[in-house]
Chains A and B, each alone.
Chain A
Amino acid sequence: MNDDRQNTPDEDSVLVASWRQGELAAFESLVEKYQKRMLNIAYRITGDYEDACEVAQDAFVAAYRGIESFRGAARFSTWLTSITLNLSRNRLQKVQAKRRNEAYSLDGTAHDEDCGPVRERPSSAPSALEQLEMRTIHEKLKECINALSVEFRETIVLRDMQDFSYGEICSILNVREGTVKSRLFRAREMVRECMKRAVGEV
């Protein structure tokens, strides 16, 4: 799913070390390497592309400013993901609080022209009908994920979409493995139930 997953932690360590010595180019390399992944995590948590863009930017800025707190015990990607998740959570809470205070609008979510979702096309070329069907399923799936509460949402995003290991998820969320498994089970069950209601038998 993500090409940057293949990079070894050693490469990150070298870049982080250079960055600590004041090389901005090293940090820029890390930005280029992880921006897509962080953007996707933020997008799946916040459910909004524009918010995700903001969160991704803030996450890298926060990482830059907080490099002193990164001891190197965890992988850089894990540390960066925890920052992104925290910011995404905060953003989601703000948005939800705002929505509660605002009257419900019939208009769809407005997207900035600069920040419209750019979707990645599948590498295979399915038929138009299959594409339509898949798009429908994806739309429904997205709605089902957005319906989850944040702790289930982030678990399913980290495991099923970003392929973090159980150990990494424990480190990112700062919870025990049993909790991760339990949350993942419940999250998947809820998504399955939601999909059943949305498009019939999955």
Chain B
Amino acid sequence: MEHADMRRKLSAYLENAVTDEEKAEIKSHLGSCGTCRGAIADLEMTVGYLKTLPDIEPPPWLTAKIMAKIREKSAPKMTLWRRLFFPLYIKLPIEAVALVFLCVTGLYLARTIGTQAPIITPSHIPQHTTEPPSAAAPTAPIPQGRIRSAQPGKPLPPPTVSAPVPQQPELEPEAAPERPRGEMPEPELRPADEGTMMEREAPLPTKEEKSAPMETLKRAKKGPARDELPLSGGVPAEKGEITLTVDDPAAAGGAIEEAVIRLGGRVNGHSYSEDSHLLIIRIAAQKVTTLLDRLERIGAVQERPHIPKGAVGTVDLTIRW
């Protein structure tokens, strides 16, 4: 064995981890090689130091902590229900979907209520409650059919005198469940109470009766609120009617309403059905011309209202298309 080989074996020789043959050979070499004797002495001392390195003590809580982890691991698994709903990676998407659903619902509601908002103004309603039904009947036939549809099979008596206004608060809540919530007849047609309205609507054409369920007539306030509105406020100086011909009747409603609102007008009611669209508005008399210009952009104005020049105050207009 060469000197270098001897040096490599010294470590094992130190621990008697060499064969007897190697042991004898190394022993013989150490007798003649001072370098290897020094090397083995150094190795012995190094190993001695290594063995004297003190052990570190475990912290007192180590066993308890290990066993706590073990018990946690060996705990019975969660039920299917808990596994489905407790982990965050499942819970988060569910919550996200729920949030989106809430947002969409909220947006839908906000938009729905937003379109009704202009109607929820009290000033126009009381005026109509005092009007005689016979005067208003010819001007707005569309809502009548719809309202009548609430009791389609009921024979209607001939027109009678409208009930007095103060009876409305008692009568309206009873009549309310019979018709869709939020519906409102055209202001001019609306009688003092449901009973008289039904009576007056009897002679309407059959065609309107058939189409009535499809119509949607919206109003802002229910009956009892009408009595709270001022009777004298906001009486228009003039009334008129505008007839339009539009390419897309269904889409025109929004544009017309927007034009009215942009001109400071107010939508008092609307009735959109498949074959007939009607919008009742109130607008400043000075703005009527501008409104007609705007409506010309939406469709062809067939019939214009007869508003005298220099008229002041507000005008109630019925727009049909």
Cα distance, A189 to B65, chains bound together (Å): 39
Q: Within B1-56, which residues are at the interface with A (CB < 8 Å)?
A: 8-12, 17, 42-43, 45-47, 49-56
Q: Which residues of B contact A36 (CB under 8 A)?
A: 55, 57-58
The listed residue (B45, B52, B54, B63) touching A202 by CB distance below 8 A is B45
| Contact A192–B67 (Cβ < 8 Å) | no
| Contact A39–B58 (Cβ < 8 Å) | yes
**In this assembly, does B62 line the interface, its C-beta being within 8 Å of a C-beta of chain A?**
yes
The residue among A2, A117, A160 with the most chain B CB atoms within 10 A of its own CB is A160
Cα distance, A138 to B46, chains bound together (Å): 11
Cβ-closest chain A residue relative to B69: A61
Q: Which residues of A contact B55 (CB under 8 A)?
A: 1-2, 36, 40, 120
| Contact A161–B51 (Cβ < 8 Å) | yes
**In this assembly, does B66 line the interface, its C-beta being within 8 Å of a C-beta of chain A?**
yes
Min Cβ gap A104→B in Å is 26
**In this assembly, does A118 line the interface, its C-beta being within 8 Å of a C-beta of chain B?**
yes
Cβ-closest chain B residue relative to A196: B42
Q: Which residues of A contact B56 (CB under 8 A)?
A: 39-40, 43, 49, 52, 117-120
**In this assembly, does A87 line the interface, its C-beta being within 8 Å of a C-beta of chain B?**
no
Cβ-closest chain B residue relative to A182: B8
**In this assembly, does A114 line the interface, its C-beta being within 8 Å of a C-beta of chain B?**
yes
**In this assembly, does A122 line the interface, its C-beta being within 8 Å of a C-beta of chain B?**
yes
**In this assembly, does A56 line the interface, its C-beta being within 8 Å of a C-beta of chain B?**
yes
Min Cβ gap B16→A in Å is 11
Question: Which stretch (B70-78, B168-176, B244-252, B308-316) binds chain A?
Answer: B70-78
Cα distance, A52 to B58, chains bound together (Å): 9
The listed residue (B10, B45, B50, B62) touching A39 by CB distance below 8 A is B62
Min Cβ gap B96→A in Å is 34
Cβ-closest chain A residue relative to B10: A185
| Contact A191–B46 (Cβ < 8 Å) | yes
| Contact A28–B63 (Cβ < 8 Å) | yes
| Contact A141–B49 (Cβ < 8 Å) | yes
| Contact A64–B70 (Cβ < 8 Å) | yes
Those 4 A-B pairs whose CB atoms lie nearest each other, nearest first? A185-B11, A118-B57, A160-B50, A192-B46
Residues on B facing A (Cβ under 8 Å): 8-12, 17, 42-43, 45-47, 49-59, 61-63, 65-67, 69-71, 73-74
Apart from A31-B66, A32-B63, A195-B49, list 5 A-B contacts with CB within 8 A.
A57-B66, A64-B74, A117-B56, A120-B54, A189-B43
